[in-house]
Every structure is written in C-alpha cells, then in structure tokens.
Amino acid sequence: MTALRPEQDGAGGFEDAVRGLDDPLNDPLPGQHPSPWFRAEEAQQEAAGGPERGEPEPEWYDPEGYAQDWYGGAPAGRQAPVRDDQTVALRTADTRRIVEPEPTAEPGGDPERETEPESGAPVPAEGRAARRRAAKKGGGGRRRASGAPPSAAAEDGGKPLTRVEARRAARAAKPTAGVLVSRAIGEVFISIGVLMLLFVTYQLWWSNIRAHNLAGNARHHLEDDWASGKGKPDSFEPGQGFAILSIPKLDVVVPIAEGISKTKVLDKGMVGHYDKDSIPTAMPDAKTGNFALAGHRNTHGEPFRYINRLRPGDPIVVETQDTYYVYKMASILPQTPPSNTAVINPVPVGSGFTTPGRYITLTTCTPEFTSTYRMIVWGKMVEERPRSEGKPDALVG
C-alpha cells in the first residue's frame, strides 16, 4: 500500500491514496504501462535507456485522455511539464469542470433582454445550445433572436434588437389611422384633379374638334340638298339647318339651324335662330323684322368668340338656298343681363335703330368662359342678291 505523504493527511489525502492503488482488473500485461496514468518522465527515460538519479519527480501525463474519460480526471493541479522537444500534446490534469453561468437579466430592465454574466452586454434571448452550435460553425458571434424580423437591425452601435424592441419598431413602422386617412384624402384630391384636367381638355380642345366636324358635315349636307333642289319648306324643324352664316373678317362660315337648343344646335357647332319655341324673330326674307341668332363664344366650335372685334361697316352675310343677304355691322352692346330680351325686338332696344327695318342680331355669352352676361352685335341689311347672280362682293373679296 502506498504510504500517505505529509500533504496528504486528512480526508483528501486518504482519497488520493486510495486512488493511487493499483486496480487488479486494469493491471497491464508485463512490459506495459501499469495504468493509463503513468509518469511522463519514465516514458522519456525508457526511450533514452533508463532513468537518471537525482532528478525531481515528474508530473503526471495522460497521452490519450483515458483518465479524463475513465476516472473523472487526473489529480487536481497536476500537469505534464512542457518541453520544446516534446511531440505529444499535454493536457491539464485538473478534474474540475468549468460551468458556464446562466445569462442573467438586468435588474429592473426588460425580462426578455438577457445580459452576459461578466460583461453585462445584452444578448439575444436564445439557449446555450444554440450559442454553442453557432460557435462550432465558426460564427464567433451570437445570432439574431429567432423572433426578431430581419428589419429589426440595430440602430446604435450595430447591436441587435430584442423581441420587445423589434415589436415596437414594427408597430412604429405601421401607418397610423391619421396617415391612412390623409393618404385616402390625397388620392381623392388627385383623382378629382385628374378628372378636372380631363374635363378642361375635353371642353377647350376636343369639344371644338367634334363641333367643327359636326358643323362641317351639316354644311355640306345642306349644300347638297340645295344642289338637288331640296330644302324649300315653309317652316323648319328644331335643329334643322336652313342657311349659312359668313363673317369674312373673322373667317367664320357656319350653318344656321332652327332653334337655340344647346344639345341639338349650339353644342354641335352651329348657330341657332330664335324661333317660336324661345322668342320668335323674323326670317331673313321678311320685309321688316329682326333676324336674331345665338352662338357659343367658347367651346363647341365657338363661332362667336371674336364678334367683339367687329367694327361698324364690317359685312355679315346670310346665305340661303336662293338668296344672299348682306348686312353691315352697325353697333355693339358689350354687356347686358340675359333677361334683357328687348335686344332682339323687331326694333332692337339699344341698337340705335328707331324705325322698323331689316336687321340682324348676334348674341353670345360674356365674359369668356362664363355665361353671366350677354354680348350683343347689331347689323342692318344693305343688299339682297339672288344666288343666280353669283356671290356678293363681301364674299368674293
């Protein structure tokens, strides 16, 4: 039996002495090492030819780590000496195991935010096994918490966010009710603006193109009827064309239809004759009376847009199937209420005419792009010329 050394007195020394006994079940064969624990110095001496006296007792050496696996570790504090000529690895014979402490939560802080036991740095809420697997893969760092979305990136210092912080960031990124309402209102305004732009484009551009085409077709159709001998009724139906108005100074040539209906006459680019359905006025062939016409100043062909540019003496010609009626502009009323119907009387009020005669009246809206007032232009007939005699000088020139 191995004698106890002075430093082995007590319970610990007894356990060391018992541990040092040879195990009969594990005794090696002759010539082999007595146990997995053998002296490193003896192994080297055997390789060199034998031990030398006077040398200090070497430390324990476990080449294969059997003692760690079979006996729970070498005696505490024992380690093989490290030499430059050793070609085998030395292992620590300390039987104590290092237990990694559990992560702790910061006092008074977020219970889901863990910290390192020594540094106090926050770490994601994940298990030690996951951290070990990440370390074995060579990542060297902690992975992002599985519950945190990829967008929950660190904002300060590159530190990852906790689950609670990630949720708060996700909630903050969601638009509030006020933002949604403002977006909806903005989209409504944008839609209204687009519709208004389309409407203005239609009114100022497309309506003119369409009206010019309709008026041109009506004019050609009327001229074809005249050439074939048609178009001599005693009265005309509302919307039916029966004459052509020419204003050479304004380069206007437009059909005249019966009635002043907006949809049937005016919006189609034609000018309308005040008939029995509105305020009856005379026809051009009447011996006395006022031939009153209405037309758009803006949009839908706008035939009367520039009648304010007419000056006294400028010709206005009305062409029918048999005759040319030539008028000369006499006066203008720049603005009057729509209720002033006296301007189309047989002797129009405000025109300067005082006795019955053969007159023409042109009416349109003013100011431009509104229908608040009416602008009135008057003229007096100066020539009646049959079509068989050719065009009058006003049209030839």
Q: Which residues of 92-122 are buried (b: 16+ CB within 10 A; e: fewer)?
A: ebeeeeeeeeebeeeeeeeeebbeeeeeeeb
Residue 228 shares a structural domain with residue 376? yes
Residue 247 shares a structural domain with residue 329? yes
Question: Would you say residue 23 lies in a domain?
Answer: no
C-alpha–C-alpha distance, residues 216 and 203, integer Å: 19
Question: Would you say residue 27 lies in a domain?
Answer: no
Radius of gyration of the chain (CA): 57
Tell me if residue 132 is catalytic: no
Residue 130 shares a structural domain with residue 274? no
- Look up tokens 């070609």; give the residue: 87
Question: Would you say residue 354 lies in a domain?
Answer: yes
Residue 137 shares a structural domain with residue 231? no
Question: Would you say residue 307 lies in a domain?
Answer: yes
Beta carbons of 317 and 293 less than 8 angstroms apart: no
Query: Where do the H-state alpha helices sit in the chain?
Result: 11-19, 40-48, 66-70, 128-136, 163-173, 177-201, 207-227, 393-396
Q: Which of 297, 358, 365, 385 is catalytic?
A: 365
Nearest to 75 by CA among 84, 63, 67: 67
Question: Would you say residue 277 lies in a domain?
Answer: yes
What CATH number is given to the structural domain containing 357? 2.40.260.10
User: Given 143, 171, 202, which residue is the final one in a domain?
Assistant: 143
Q: Which of 91, 296, 297, 385 is catalytic?
A: 296
Strands 289-294 and 271-273: antiparallel
Residue 354 shares a structural domain with residue 271? yes
Cα 113–Cα 116–Cα 121 angle in degrees, nearest 5: 70
Count of domains observed in the chain:
2
Residue 301 shares a structural domain with residue 378? yes
Tell me if residue 131 is catalytic: no
Beta carbons of 262 and 268 less than 8 angstroms apart: no
Question: Would you say residue 101 lies in a domain?
Answer: no
C-alpha–C-alpha distance, residues 370 and 203, integer Å: 13
Residue 126 shares a structural domain with residue 240? no
Is the preceding omega at residue 367 within 30 degrees of 0, hence cis?
Answer: yes
Residue-level pLDDT, tens digit, the chain, 397 residues: 444 454 445 556 666 665 665 555 555 555 554 554 445 555 555 555 554 544 554 444 555 554 454 445 444 444 544 444 444 444 444 444 444 445 444 444 444 444 444 445 454 545 677 777 776 665 444 444 444 444 444 445 567 888 888 888 888 888 888 888 999 999 999 999 999 999 888 878 888 999 999 999 999 999 998 988 887 776 788 899 999 999 999 999 999 999 999 999 999 999 999 988 889 999 999 999 999 999 999 999 999 999 999 999 999 999 999 999 999 999 999 999 999 999 999 999 999 999 999 999 999 999 999 999 999 999 999 999 999 999 999 999 7
C-alpha–C-alpha distance, residues 245 and 250, integer Å: 12
Going by the DSSP 8-state scheme, the letter that residue 109 receives in this structure is S
Q: Which domain holds residue 118?
A: 106-143
Query: Where do the H-state alpha helices sit in 5-79?
Result: 11-19, 40-48, 66-70
Tell me if residue 365 is catalytic: yes
Question: Would you say residue 205 lies in a domain?
Answer: no
